[in-house]
Amino acid sequence: MRHDGGPLMNDLQQLLREFDKLVKAARGALGEQTEDVAEHVREGLDNARDRLKTGARVVDDYLRDNTWTVVALAAAAAFVAGVLLTRRK
């Protein structure tokens, strides 16, 4: 079972690295106030990452437990989309 988050988690990690670089660059210019704002934003990003991981696990578990239900729903959605698109022409 894979729970690493894939490309989305990689993008989020890259965002965190870039944010840290930006904070370090701005720290000298703005002083201590920057550190407070940076810590607040970092906490928000960490919270978002944790919630994203939790959501990914929930979705993954649901898909694994209800594979045929998901396949049936996807087929029904594709059928409805096909009907709507053919009527449009």
Summarised one tens digit per residue, pLDDT across range 21-48 is: 777 777 666 666 667 777 777 788 888 8
Q: In the chain, which ranges are continuous DSSP H helix?
A: 6-30, 32-65, 67-88
Asked, for residue 74, whether it belongs to a domain, the answer is yes
Cα–Cα distance between 5 and 53 in angstroms, integer? 6
Reported as a single tens digit per residue, the pLDDT across 52-84 is 888 888 888 998 999 999 999 999 999 999 999
Residue 1 lies in a domain: no
Domain residue limits at 15: 6-88
Q: Are the C-beta atoms of 29 and 77 separated by less than 8 Å?
A: no
Tally of domains in the chain: 1
